[in-house]
Chain A
Amino acid sequence: MSLNWFRYASPATFYPLAGKMIPWFYGAAALLAVIGLYVGLVVAPTDFQQGDAYRIIFIHVPAAWLSMFLYVVMACWSALALGFNTRLSAMMAQAIAPTGAVMTFIALWTGAFWGRPTWGTYWAWDARMTSELILLFLYLGIIALRNAIDDPRRADRACGVLALTGVVNIPIIYFSVHWWNTLHQGSSVSLTKAPSMAAIMLTGMLIMSFAAWFYAIAASLARIRIIMVERERGAAWVGELEEVRNA
């Protein structure tokens, strides 16, 4: 028996599949967020150097990770859309951008409110912070570019090119703390060495990261369903949807 994966590459079949997955991802995100917030705000002890200010880490790091991951995922879908002219890939890229922008904003905002008590400033033109701000502008630029072009297929191509060009910023953000010795600290968690933070703090951060991941997946899927109905309205499969008939 062969499972035809390409079946789900059509909006008409992906739409109901996404609809079934969304509540599970929202549910998992909410559950993990409750556990993660409990671990982060109640169970984890006060840091001996930073006091309680460090607790911002439980939203700052997951949001910052996701802001970069989501950009790479969006760029991959854009590359597929440009290379193979596939509708669903372009819609995926379109659906991810706003959630990516939200995560980038959270990373910057929480970083500012962590920087003030620990570094004495909300903002500095530090390499990590500046490149993350450019990431926010890239997301907003991609969203604005799409809104400026009426033909969705032309918008797909233009946004795809811009998204791929912007990928150059991702390694700059990631390695900025190594390349330039400015204000932002290096990473406490890496693939090559043991994490330099207490186990309970790391646990809380990882739980919150999974919560953020599941939230981002749920929100992107919810958005791609909206995009599908918007872009394919007039198509028979959209007209047959129960939620369209009852709207």
Chain B
Amino acid sequence: MTTFFAMNGYGFYIWSAYGAAALVLAIELLTLRSRRRSVLLEARLTRPDDPTDPTGAAE
């Protein structure tokens, strides 16, 4: 296992590359999830003729 992560001395470069790629993709997915939540909530608050509209934002 240790030899696998060492990658014959290239471990630092390989895991920096793979780690950053995984991190960026994770950030993209989390951003999508949080934006989806806020956009759905915003859409509920602007629903036409929504009797429960707490903000009065509906046109």
Interface residues of A (CB under 8 A from B): 41-42, 46, 51-53, 55-56, 59-60, 63, 98-99, 102, 105-106, 109-110, 113-114, 116-117, 215, 219, 222-223, 225-226, 229-230, 233-234, 236, 238-239, 241, 243-245, 247
- Chain B interface, DSSP helix/strand/loop, else mixed: helix
Partner pick for B14 among A56, A222, A225, CB 8 A cutoff: A56
Give the residues in chain A near B37, CB-CB below 8 Å: 247
Distance between Cα atoms of A167 and B12 in the complex (Å): 35
Give the residues in chain A near B39, CB-CB below 8 Å: 226, 229-230, 233
A52 pairs with B36, CB closer than 8 A: no
Q: Chain B nearest CB: distance from A244 CB in Å?
A: 5
B33-45: CB near A (< 8 Å → 1, else 0) gives 0011101111110
Partner pick for A226 among B21, B24, B35, CB 8 A cutoff: B35
- A60, A113, A236 interface centre (most CB from chain B within 10 Å): A113
Distance between Cα atoms of A94 and B13 in the complex (Å): 33
- B7, B17, B59 interface centre (most CB from chain A within 10 Å): B17
Interface size on B, residues (CB 8 A): 32
Q: Chain A nearest CB: distance from B23 CB in Å?
A: 10
Give the residues in chain A near B59, CB-CB below 8 Å: 234
Assuming the contacts A106-B21, A219-B28, asked whether A247 and B41 have C-beta atoms less than 8 A apart, the reply is yes
A109 pairs with B17, CB closer than 8 A: yes
A109 pairs with B48, CB closer than 8 A: no
Q: Chain A nearest CB: distance from B30 CB in Å?
A: 12
B24 pairs with A239, CB closer than 8 A: no
Give the residues in chain B near A117, CB-CB below 8 Å: 10, 13
Q: Chain B nearest CB: distance from A238 CB in Å?
A: 5
B46 pairs with A233, CB closer than 8 A: yes
